[in-house]
Amino acid sequence: MENPFVYGEVVPQSAFVDRHDELKRLAADLLAGQKVFLISPRRYGKSSLIRRALANAERAGCLTVEVTVSSYSSYLAFLEGYAKAVLAAETRVSRALSWLRDAIGATRPEVRLETEPGGASAVAVAFPAVRSARDVSRLAPEIFALPARLAEARGRRVVVALDEFQAIGGFNGGSVEEALRAAVQNQRQVGYVFAGSEPSLMEAMLGPKRPFYKAGPVMRLEKIPADLFASFIEQRFLKTGMKPEPGMGHAVVDLAGQLPYDVQRLAHEVWDDGRAEGRRRVGLDQLHQTLHRLLAEHAVFFEAAWQRLTLGQRGVLRALVLEEGRSLLSADVRSRYRLGGASSVQAALGALQKHDVVTRDQDRYVVVDSLMREWIARRTF
């Protein structure tokens, strides 16, 4: 029997929890050709939501393009990957090659078939004649125009998802944003979702002095309601022959910090342990046994992350865990944990956010990884 909980990959529809309103709104905006900005902290299920929205768009007859911006090491590599993703939306390779060469003929694209790790054949795109930053800047508008040209060539709407969009700023400063905004603003037959998992960077990109200011609607993902998530967990256990003890779902959700990725991970591991032991019931004892196993397995990773922090950052991080992320700048908390001045605590919090160790959750700070939070609470002093 397959484990009913999924983490570490895009969640399939069977394991997708809630997000009905968000999915309906996102899908409708994309079908209307809107340029949507989706902002979500890590582990909130952003990529799974995007995949479901793209599936809805395909059922409505749209061609879909999906690119993870942070996967690329250079601006040129991103442009090549973008062109490849657009080509992949065209099922007939010969037709795709024809209109690509017509669209970017002057740059002489090199197109070839290659075998991907899974064994499937795919089209690869390269621009060997592009060597300088000026060449790349000239190429970019042509690449960013491809979705609209595909929509025109096929007579169908196109939906483009650019995930981890905040990474685009690392390629060539603000010029990338300017080129992309200039290209997409008049593409009425193409819907875009620009999604990012670093809220502070994404919010900055939407500021009044940046190219994407007021370019389209903004969606901000919130946590899935705890009661709904707990019910989902218990129902999935029951459907696979394991009866959860009362309160089991809420215990998983609480221990995992209500983060979709962490909730699915913890439930997945509890289910695996229960299955291995032939259990017909699961409860808090099994939950904590699984937690202790996971902490032991991740200890080396967490220890390495802890060692990379300065002493001041370690002190603030430990205080954050024990005080549940609140009142960290107060004199009482600083005195109790010997943290130093408020400015030093603020600087440490900024560094921890930059290193993606902690994030803001409304009025408090939280550790991004709930397992690391438990490790800090139990193994540091």
Q: Which of 187, 220, 253 is at the close of a domain?
A: 220
Same domain, yes or no: 63 and 171 = yes
Q: Which residue shows structure tokens 């930059």?
A: 354
Same domain, yes or no: 235 and 330 = no
Same domain, yes or no: 335 and 350 = yes
Q: What is the mean pLDDT of residues 141-155?
A: 91
Which band of pLDDT confidence, cut at 50, 70 and 90, is reported for residue 121?
A: low
SS (H, E, C) 111-179: EEEEECCCCCEEEEEECCCCCCHHHHHHHHHHHHCHHHHHHHHHCCCEEEEEECHHHHHHHHCHHHHHH
Token pair of 236, please?
Answer: 């999935």
Same domain, yes or no: 153 and 276 = no
Same domain, yes or no: 275 and 179 = no
Question: What is the chain's mean pLDDT, rounded?
Answer: 91
DSSP 344-368: HHHHHHHHHHHTTSEEEETTEEEES
User: For residue range 39-63, what is the model confidence (pLDDT) as tens digits?
Assistant: 998 888 899 999 999 999 999 999 9
User: For residue range 2-18, what is the model confidence (pLDDT) as tens digits?
Assistant: 899 988 777 777 777 87
Q: How many domains does the chain have?
A: 3
Predicted TM-score of the model (pTM): 0.85
User: For residue range 202-248, what is the model confidence (pLDDT) as tens digits?
Assistant: 988 999 989 999 999 999 998 899 999 999 999 999 999 999 999 99
**C-alpha 7, offset from chain centre:** 12
Q: Which residue shows structure tokens 């960077």?
A: 201
Give the CA radius of gyration of the chain. 23
Same domain, yes or no: 175 and 30 = yes
Report the percent of the chain where pLDDT is more than 90: 69
pLDDT at position 377: 96
Q: Is the pLDDT of residue 156 over 90?
A: yes
Domain residues for the domain of 331 are 310-381
